[in-house]
Amino acid sequence: MLWLYLHFPALQLDSLPATGQPRAIACNRRHVLVQINRAAQAEGLQLDMGLGLASSLCRNLEVHPYQDDFAPRRLQELAQRLYLVSADIMLFNPDGLLLKASPMLRYYHGLKHYWASLQHELLGERVQACGATDTQPLAARALARAGIECIGGDRQPPRWHALALAHSDLPGKAINQLQRIGVSNLGELVRLPLTELADRLDKTSIDYVQKLTGRKVYPTRFFTPAARFTRYRELECEADTTAPLMAPLARCLNALEDFLQTRDHVTATLTLQLLRRDRPAIHLKINAAQGERRAHTWQQLIELKLASLTLDAPVYAFRISAAQSYPRAKLVEDLFNAQTGQLERAELLSLLEAKLGPDALLQPSLNNDHRPEQRASCAGNRLTGDSGTPMQQRPSLLLDTPKATAEPLSIIHGPERITTGWWDQAPVMRDYYIARNRAGCWLWVYRPLQRSGSDRNWYIHGYFS
């Protein structure tokens, strides 16, 4: 049996748009580089180098934090893609795929064409990959992880004997023990008598040696493609407008088309989530009048949708998913059976938003701030606001714009002095009072503090009920 292992050394880095600038992915727990591009290598950076040293060697290094959940997700996507070319695929999280090559060879008339097809698919996915074949899955994996690309039939002599132990899956402790008796590569390891070795190493290591050499069968659990299409992409840099979203979106829509086509499915609704830093994500629902799978149609719809959207905070990533897909034939039936008049709240909101525009949809919220303007805000369609406890002696009706007044007032309580907010360039310097006017209205009034300028007018800022 011939196995082909694909190792992806820089999945997260590959997902970013190409650049000539030095760029690295760094582990934010250990603060070391875990993926670097060519430009960074040219600057003398190496994997596992500390972030401090790296940034002092290369001032213009662009650093992205390593995301634990990115690689497994991306691996799923790659498996999905390669599933079109190869039947039995195993996932090795977070950065490898094992393909059962032997059964496929007869469809491709040999290893050469099979490998070329795989490479073609990978090229489409824009990922760096190193492939290696061997009769044992773990041997192929060790070769690929060592960066040795060797695609050969099952009769070629094994090439993994010269590999350093570090490329194996042996536990760190065992590698250390073996190195300390002078065993430095896998060849030397398998030459040791297994019985004597079994008395000296832990079970996991012995198990590994047995599987590596084929004395024990490697258990297989093959990949089954996901039922739902979903893609997550981060932008190279945060986008203030929707234009930079279009290119990566188009690639995702192409993938969607492939996904649906292979199943002969269509979908009627796409969900697009625009993720913004420190702000809630924007959820957009894009509906097609009828089931659709063509990328360019979806792209038009999305462009239309995005055209009416103004971003009030930059977007750093998006997630696109097809909620449901169904066979093309069922489309008609679905249309007639669809129930109407039972909209979910979120659906209603998104419909209203689509109809009236996001600015028309407001929701009151209470923020954690002393400043009246900042405390009570009518933010956009924000469903998760901080609902702090209301302060005492604050009016129930607050004016958007305080109103200057010259009418005689009698002060009942006060002052409450608010001189804060230096951090966000909206400082307030006012003395607030509770006052009553001649008509008996209870008002919340303020006078700007002398320090803040010459304005000594009284302003009405709210009414008590």
- The stretch among 57-65, 143-151, 300-308, 356-364 that binds other proteins (CB under 8 A) is 57-65
Residue from 48, 69, 196, 344 binding other proteins (CB under 8 A): 196
Q: What span, in angstroms and rounded, lies between the C-alpha atoms of 309 and 241?
A: 9
Closer residue to other proteins (CB): 69 or 199: 199
Looking only at residues 59 through 88 of this chain, which bind other proteins when binding is defined by CB under 8 A? Answer: 63, 65
Name residue, tokens 């748009």. Answer: 17
- State in angstroms the smallest separation of the CB of 418 from other proteins: 5
Residues 10, 25: contact at Cβ < 8 Å? Answer: yes
Residue from 56, 220, 241, 363 binding other proteins (CB under 8 A): 56
Around Cβ 149, how many Cβ atoms within 10 Å? 14
Q: Extract the tokens encoding 375.
A: 């405390």
- The stretch among 45-53, 103-111, 139-147, 279-287 that binds other proteins (CB under 8 A) is 45-53
Phi and psi angles of residue 239, each rounded to the nearest 5 degrees, phi first: -110, 130
Strand 315-322, strand 32-36: pairing = unpaired
Q: x-or-dash pattern for other proteins, window 388-417, by CB under 8 A?
A: x--xxxx------------------xxxxx
Cα 78 → chain centroid: 16
Closer residue to other proteins (CB): 225 or 415: 415
Residues 235, 311: contact at Cβ < 8 Å? Answer: no
- State in angstroms the smallest separation of the CB of 55 from other proteins: 6
Q: What span, in angstroms and rounded, lies between the C-alpha atoms of 229 and 129?
A: 24
Residue 147 touching other proteins (CB under 8 A): no
Closer residue to other proteins (CB): 16 or 306: 16
DSSP 135: S
Residue 375 touching other proteins (CB under 8 A): yes
Residues 138, 218: contact at Cβ < 8 Å? Answer: yes
Closer residue to other proteins (CB): 255 or 434: 434
Residue 53 touching other proteins (CB under 8 A): yes
Closer residue to other proteins (CB): 51 or 361: 51
Residue 42 touching other proteins (CB under 8 A): no
Closer residue to other proteins (CB): 49 or 275: 49
Residues 430, 394: contact at Cβ < 8 Å? Answer: no
**Secondary structure (DSSP) of 379-415:** ESS-S---BPPPPTT--SEEEEEEEEE-S-EEEEEEE
Q: Which residues bind other proteins (CB under 8 A)?
A: 28, 31, 44, 51-53, 55-57, 63, 65, 177, 180-182, 192-193, 196, 199-201, 367-370, 375, 388, 391-394, 413-420, 422-425, 431
